[in-house]
Structure 1
Amino acid sequence: MHHLLDDIRLICFDLDGTLVDSVPDLAAAVDAALCDLGLSAAGERHVRDWVGNGSRVLMERALRHALAEEPGASRLEQAHDAFVNHYERRPCAASRLYPGVSEALQQLHAAGLTLVLVTNKPAAFIAPILGHFGLSGYFSLCLGGDSLPRRKPDPLPLTHVAEAFAVSSAHCLMVGDSRHDIAAGRAAAFRTLAVPYGYNHGEPVALSGPDAVVESLVELL
């Protein structure tokens, strides 16, 4: 296995941009929500740069783009509710697994490593997506952005996971595609691994200083 896995007992994986390219379905829900409010669609290209901080921030960015000004709280709440309604109906219509994800998770799980999902996506969407792609059985715990009082880049979700499984942070690894994943991992004293193909607001994730970068998760094997 990859040298970064030496002495690692627990691996936390991000979801969007790391395991699943979910932007096509996210963009469809964003655009449908904007349409409900009588606003112009944003399009997938913009949404790809807005993903990573949870659904509310995603819709805040979409509204700011559509209105060319800061959205009010009530409008943001309305837009977010509309987004959730649309996304709940079709969370996996056009999303796809990145190459090597299934193979990597299967073999890491078989090797006895504890695998955990830590995403900023609302927790309600996790099970349908994992189930759709046949990944549910690999994860011992799944945390969404609303599972705890704070989400990535705050280290709380990662320190919570380490404590829940009684594993020292020195034996934990955070795998993600964005600076928020790397920042959370470093703040929690985890080792950090980045993939360059996901969503990082248009910036190379290597600039965030992960301990290593792999082009595909199969490089971990």
Structure 2
Amino acid sequence: MTAVKKELLIFDLDGTLIDSVPDLAQATNNMLTTLGKSTYPIETIRNWVGNGSRMLVERALVGSVEVAEGQLSKEEADHAEKVFFDAYAKVSGDNTVAYPNVSEGLKKLKQAGFTLALVTNKPSQFVPKILESFGWSELFTEVLGGDSLPTKKPDPEPLRHVCRTLQTAPEHAVMIGDSKNDIFAGQNANIDTLGLSYGYNYGQDIRELKPTAAFDDFQGLVDWVITEYT
């Protein structure tokens, strides 16, 4: 395979670099308890993660990954989201862990000369603490949360915004993530996409979405990127 040289690697966060489901599940169930609703097992909540906090909250309120139009009022969802934010802010974060080889891999990619950026659908207020806890704050040149712009993944605009900000042509950028939101955002932005199979993709094999390449572990991705893109 002959690949165009890449300069910019744009990473997703949850399900790609970190497994945050234990803490998200705790905050979700704390929210539900506060609202007087039934709670759910962590594996159920795992299937609701990936589209940002608002969608997680709405799925928890209805108890399903599918939320029908008009099933919830805006007022109900707004209130529940505020309760969720309060609950998530109080979670220690001790149960959020980096996937194997991620810290070493990010540093290796940075040392290889790539610019690293982060585009997550997680609300931006929660991102700095997470990056700091893993010692990653200095690795990312640009960081966008799900509320940093009017739209979020799978809309391509966050990726285009990063490319414009860092003055990198799309053909020299790569989107790396674990879900259809990441792959669709990259494909719609006309940039290469690399999928990771271990994250949160609603039970669907990431390879079915036809990313440029897919990997079962982060170390394999890092080795491939350095071989193919430098």
TM-score scaled by length of structure 1: 0.94
Cα pair 1:12 1:174 within 8 Å, conserved: yes
- The alpha-carbon distance between structure 1 residues 106 and 208, as it changes in their structure 2 partners (threshold 3 A), is same
Which aligned pairs between 1:1-150 and structure 2 lie closer than 5 A? 6-65=4-63, 70-90=71-91, 92-150=93-151
Instruction: Supply the distance in 2 between the matched residues of 1:201 and 1:148 (Cα, whole angstroms).
Output: 25
CA shift digits 1:74-120 (9 cap, x unpaired): 22111111110011122512111000101110011111211000000
Aligned length: 218
Measure the CA separation in 2 of the matches of 1:52 and 1:28: 16
C-alpha distance after superposition, 1:129-187 (max 9, x if no partner): 01111111110011000000100000000000111111111110000000110000001
Identity of aligned residues (%): 43
Q: Structure 2 stretches of 5 or more lacking a match?
A: 224-230
Matched letter for residue 82 of structure 1: V
Q: Does 1:179 align with 2:177?
A: no
Q: Which runs of 5+ in 1 are unaligned?
A: none
Q: Deviations over 1:41-96 (max 9, x none)?
A: 12211111111111011000000118x98222222111111110011122512111
Once the 2 structures are TM-superposed, how far is the Cα of residue 5 of structure 1 from its aligned partner?
Answer: 6.9
TM-score, length basis structure 2: 0.91
Moved more, 84-93 or 189-198: 84-93
